[in-house]
């Protein structure tokens, strides 16, 4: 926490006020399941445990985080989407804010499965970065925000444990180039910007085996 605490405070402040303002209506997981089954299952699997490495596992994710991502994939009031994905941009075009809340509630209730890390030596270096960061290059420990077991801290810090390494690596690269710019106060941008490609690959491998 030593390196990260000012960042943590900033990120928490901005995002939590945003979420408070949005949480007036209660979510309906059964309605979310209908959409998930009809529209999303082909890529993310029926219970959100995607078996395709480029498509993220959604099962067990905090509901507020999933809802926020769905909002961020959509262009709002003439402004471009803060999270750029042609595929997901098309998927959310027809969803209302209530649909997004219901979908978040549905996936949060599903049990995440993990396949485990494939490259053990990469995972070893990755564990160092995950637990201790890199003091020399100013990379904070991932564990300080995403928790030691990768379960995250709702509502702001997502669950990342067991996620496909390919997807995690793609996100770190996207944060670095800011094609994904929906992280409050650029917290993930600053972190990814200080990481080497090797560290990103290693930490992604380690995270895929966390549970």
Binding residues for ligand HEC, rule: CB under 6 A, are 4, 7-8, 11, 35, 39-40, 42-44, 54-56, 58, 66, 68-70, 85, 87-88, 91, 103, 129, 139-140, 142, 144-146, 156-158, 160, 168, 170-172, 182-183, 187-188, 191, 203
CA distance 4 to 88: 31
Please, which residue, 42 or 97, has the CB nearer to ligand HEC? 42
Please, which residue, 49 or 55, has the CB nearer to ligand HEC? 55
Q: How far apart are CB 68 and ligand HEC at their closest, in Å?
A: 6
Three-state secondary-structure class, residue 3: coil
Q: How far apart are CB 173 and ligand HEC at their closest, in Å?
A: 10
Q: How far apart are CB 120 and ligand HEC at their closest, in Å?
A: 18
For residue 83, list its beta bridge partners.
Answer: 180
Nearest residue to 195 (alpha-carbon basis) of 144, 128, 121, 106: 128
Please, which residue, 105 or 160, has the CB nearer to ligand HEC? 160
Q: How far apart are CB 179 and ligand HEC at their closest, in Å?
A: 9
Q: Which residue has the tokens 């996207």?
A: 174
Please, which residue, 35 or 122, has the CB nearer to ligand HEC? 35
Q: Are 15 and 155 in contact (CB under 8 A)?
A: yes
Q: How far apart are CB 89 and ligand HEC at their closest, in Å?
A: 9
Nearest residue to 157 (alpha-carbon basis) of 144, 169, 173, 138: 144
CA distance 109 to 26: 15
Please, which residue, 77 or 207, has the CB nearer to ligand HEC? 207
Q: Are 10 and 82 in contact (CB under 8 A)?
A: no
CA distance 143 to 131: 5
């Amino acid at each position: 926490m030593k390196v990260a605490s000012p960042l943590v405070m900033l990120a928490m402040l901005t995002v939590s006020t945003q979420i408070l303002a949005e949480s007036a209506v209660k979510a309906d997981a059964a309605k979310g399941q209908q959409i998930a089954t009809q529209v999303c299952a082909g890529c993310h699997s029926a219970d959100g445990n995607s078996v395709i490495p480029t498509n993220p596992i959604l099962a067990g994710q905090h509901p507020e985080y999933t809802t926020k991502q769905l909002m961020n994939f959509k262009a709002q009031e003439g402004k471009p989407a803060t999270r750029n994905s042609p595929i997901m941009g098309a998927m959310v075009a027809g969803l209302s804010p209530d649909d997004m809340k219901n979908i978040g509630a549905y996936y949060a209730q599903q049990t995440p499965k993990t396949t485990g890390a494939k490259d053990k030596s990469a995972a070893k270096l990755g564990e160092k970065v995950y637990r201790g960061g890199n003091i020399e290059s100013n990379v904070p420990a991932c564990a300080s925000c995403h928790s030691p077991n990768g379960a995250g801290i709702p509502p702001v810090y997502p669950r990342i444990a067991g996620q496909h390494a390919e997807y995690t690596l793609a996100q770190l690269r996207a944060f670095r180039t800011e094609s994904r710019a929906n992280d409050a106060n650029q917290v993930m941008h600053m972190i990814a910007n200080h990481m080497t490609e090797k560290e990103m690959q290693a930490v992604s491998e380690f995270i895929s085996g966390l549970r």
